[in-house]
Amino acid sequence: MNEPSVLDCVKSIFKNRASLMAFLKAWWTQADPLSSVEVSSSPEEEAVPAPEPARPEQTSFPWRSLLLLIFALLGQRALEPPDRNAVLGVVFYLAALALAIWAFRRGELAPAPLPRPERQRDPWTVRRQPFFLSLILTIAAFFLLWDLRLFGQEVAWWPTEPNRFNVWNVSVWSLAVALFIGAFWLPVETSASLRARLAGQQEQRSRWAWAVVVPILAVILFFHLHRLPTVVPEMNSDHAEKLWDVFDVTRGQYSIFFPRNTGREPLYVYLAALIAQFSGISFLTLKIASLIGGLLTLPYLYLLGVEMGSRRIGLLAVMFAGIAYWPIVLERFSLRISFYPLFVAPTLYYLIRGLRRQSRNDFILAGLALGLGLLGYTPFRIMPLVVVALVVIYLLHQRDRWIRRQTLFWLLLLALTSFLVFLPLARYAIEEPFSFGFRALSRLGPIERPLPGPAWQIFLSNLWNALRQFNWDNGIIWVHSIPNRPALDLVSGALFLLGAFLLLARYLHRRQWQDLAILLAVPFIQMPSILSLAFPAENPSLNRTAGAIVPVFLLVGIGLDGLLSTLGSERRRVVLGWGLVGALFLLAALQNYALIFQRYNDQYRMNAWNTSELGAVMKDAMRRGVPAENIWAVGYPHWVDTRLPPIWAGVPGRDMAIWGDELANTLTIPGPKVFFVKYDDQATLTLLQTLYPAGEWEYYNSEFDHHDFWILRVP
């Protein structure tokens, strides 16, 4: 007879309420509390898990579910600024919760059934020649990704240098990754039944379905492309750093890690450099690169919805994510932030599907997405821990020992795949650990400043603030958010909480690991913001929590799908349901449009310095014959970043700053000159009038207060 494992004990005790009460009763009476523990069976003894029962067809009108939606919307409306009423919002949400529990217990409201789990034995095969060759090439790439040394001496004839990609190391590294994947990839057999199923799915794509999908896609593209060059209109110092990195790449400096301004990963910079071949080194280049990241997230969000129950969940999740203020504002800010959700989505999708289907290939694809994400954006470094946590959740719900062993082997395979993709940055991290880890560690510990309190208290406070960012307050960072408002719009905020309730209720009822995994993925992915212990005022921040866009809008889709299912499949009710979706989508679109293209854009323009106006004047002066090197902006604290006007003028790579004590040196420089001076820099104005009494002065009136500047033209 098999002995029960610790996992068997835990699962049997918490299987349901009756099991828990039996355990507590046995413990209280000093009987054997483990007498009823079920032992894990062998693969031959354990049956294939039964599929989740389908949602019952609704016949009566689902007034509880529709009323809870109204209460949830009223509750979220009460939490919207500027006229917030937290007490009223909580009251409405509690009423919605009571109705949700009532509807769930009566079988009226339920999430879509999860796909049936599959049981596949891994053949434990590996192609030996590609595997051993990949090991050799990995070792070679490890050395080639830095300057090559033999016995401590540089090899002069080998074309390598520190922190540089070149044809040799990229080729060897790429081939190592390809051979490793090829060594473990299992051939995919397309059976007759699978082909028939795929054909059936194609037949189900009726004309009315496309009539719904195409307008939705058109609205999503409108939100992502509308006024792209002008919203937002100005760059800041972060954009200057990015464009200087892009400029370095266009001049042949192919860095592995870009250490400027606390450092950044290479993937976004190289994509922007590729786009710059067509659009030039400009703000639009960064916007297009960020836009690509945002749009490519949506297909995997759809696939995650399918994996969590239905294509309708995927479509609804994409609908509301595609027009949402949170992801689109991050895109318009035009940094590499959109690469966080871009790689979170496929990592979660392939991992969850791989665990359900017991598919080795899915784990390889998850490792590939994980490795690419680590080349994209610093907060993504939390994702390896998230992957391990989700696998642990799966193992705690899996009683079959051979599946546990198989899953652990695949987790190792996932880790190796991601490490091979991450190899260039891993090599840099070994050589330059402080540069590589400074940005993240400076927020976690007392590198820049002491912790403002006990670490555990700051952590709990940060966790609370991060969890309420969706419905209450998304932080105070104006460059990529509207300070002190929820990260979600009115409709998405209400549906997000409904989706979270549905998964939590089903998990308590059926203990399905996917439900717990999606719920916990939200705070797990928020950890880069939550762990800002040294700078708690920076939490929550929409950039460091951007990866949570994926599970959050997945919950939005699950919540709305659950409401639609309460109406049933009768034709009139289906029409009513999609009419409700249309009304909610329209309400969300109107609010998000106002948030993105009006409030956020106006706020950004008021706070950002008008470097585009300096750039326009500089470009006009160059057209009139003034050399670019004879145009300066006199430095002044907290004024414009003097690297940006040359970018606007089409001459990137130049810093036009000059300081007051250097102005006299310009007298010996031949040719016409132009100086820009901040409107209230009286000392510089007096000095330049003394140096250039014949100069022509012009006061430039900016569209916004306190953004004016003086122009001095010297013939």
Averaged pLDDT, 112-132: 94
Q: 439 CB contacts (<8 Å, ≥6 apart)? A: 262, 263, 378
Sign of the dihedral defined by the CA atoms of residues 191, 195, 200, 206, in that order: positive
With beta carbons less than 8 A apart as the criterion, state whether 345 and 376 touch: no
Distances (CA, A) of 499 to 339, 359, 555: 25, 28, 5
- Cα torsion for 409, 415, 417, 420, to the nearest 10°? -140
Task: Describe the crossing of helices 571-594 and 325-333 by its angle, rounded to 10 degrees.
Answer: 40
Q: Is the pLDDT reported for residue 592 higher than 60?
A: yes
b/e map of 404-430 (b: 16 or more CB within 10 Å)? bebbeebbebbbbbbbbbbbbbbbbee
CA–CA gap between residue 614 and residue 609 (Å, rounded): 10
CA–CA gap between residue 103 and residue 113 (Å, rounded): 17
Helical H segments across 445-540, by residue range: 455-467, 490-510, 513-525, 527-530
* Omega of the bond leading into 82 within 30 degrees of 0 (cis): yes
Q: Is the pLDDT reported for residue 431 higher than 80?
A: yes
Q: Is the pLDDT reported for residue 422 higher than 80?
A: yes
Averaged pLDDT, 480-489: 97
With beta carbons less than 8 A apart as the criterion, state whether 587 and 621 touch: no
Q: Which structure tokens are listed for 430?
A: 């070994």
CA–CA gap between residue 652 and residue 640 (Å, rounded): 16
Strand (E) or helix (H) holding 153: strand 153-154
Q: Which of 341, 202, 306, 344 is nearest to 561 (CA)?
A: 306
CA angle 152, 156, 162 (to 5 degrees): 70
Residue 21 binned pLDDT confidence (cut-offs 50, 70, 90): low
Report the DSSP pairing between strands 709-714 and 696-700.
Answer: antiparallel
Averaged pLDDT, 411-419: 98
Residue 58 binned pLDDT confidence (cut-offs 50, 70, 90): low
Q: Which structure tokens are listed for 62?
A: 């689902």
What pLDDT does residue 40 have? 46
What pLDDT does residue 9 have? 57
Q: What is the edge-to-edge ordering of all strands in the sheet holding 657-658?
A: 657-658, 631-634, 673-678, 709-714, 696-700
Q: Is the pLDDT reported for residue 709 higher than 50?
A: yes
Averaged pLDDT, 659-683: 96
Residue 15 binned pLDDT confidence (cut-offs 50, 70, 90): low
Averaged pLDDT score across all residues of the chain: 91
- The DSSP code for 482 is -
* Omega of the bond leading into 6 within 30 degrees of 0 (cis): no
Question: Taking the mean position of all CA atoms in its chain, how far away is CA 505?
Answer: 27
Lowest-confidence pick of 160-169, 195-204, 525-534, 609-618? 195-204
Q: What is the pLDDT of residues 593-645, one digit of tens each?
A: 999 999 999 999 999 999 999 999 999 999 999 999 999 999 999 999 999 99
Three-state secondary structure of 341-371: HHHHHHHHHHHHHHHHHCCHHHHHHHHHHHH
Residue 188 binned pLDDT confidence (cut-offs 50, 70, 90): confident
- Cα torsion for 560, 562, 563, 565, to the nearest 10°? 130
Averaged pLDDT, 32-37: 49
Lowest-confidence pick of 43-47, 317-321, 464-468? 43-47
What pLDDT does residue 292 have? 98
Q: Is the pLDDT reported for residue 206 higher than 80?
A: no
Three-class DSSP category at 646: helix
CA–CA gap between residue 440 and residue 454 (Å, rounded): 19
What pLDDT does residue 46 have? 44
Residue 30 binned pLDDT confidence (cut-offs 50, 70, 90): very low
Residue 44 binned pLDDT confidence (cut-offs 50, 70, 90): very low
Q: One-letter amino acid identity for 414?
A: L
Lowest-confidence pick of 48-57, 306-315, 452-461, 639-648? 48-57
With beta carbons less than 8 A apart as the criterion, state whether 420 and 372 touch: no
Q: Is the pLDDT reported for residue 492 higher than 50?
A: yes
Averaged pLDDT, 498-506: 98
Which range among 4-8, 25-29, 146-150, 367-371 has the greatest average pLDDT? 367-371
What pLDDT does residue 61 have? 87
| Tokens 């071949």 -> residue | 277
What pLDDT does residue 120 have? 87
Residue 376 binned pLDDT confidence (cut-offs 50, 70, 90): very high
Q: Which of 575, 584, 582, 561 is nearest to 55 (CA)?
A: 561
Averaged pLDDT, 503-515: 96
What pLDDT does residue 226 have? 98
What pLDDT does residue 154 have? 57
What pLDDT does residue 597 have? 98
Averaged pLDDT, 329-351: 97
Q: Which structure tokens are listed for 539?
A: 């939490």
Q: Is the pLDDT reported for residue 669 higher than 60?
A: yes
What pLDDT does residue 261 have? 86
User: Above pLDDT 70, what percent of the chain?
Assistant: 87
What pLDDT does residue 358 have? 94
Q: Which of 117, 204, 55 is nearest to 558 (CA)?
A: 55
What pLDDT does residue 484 have? 96
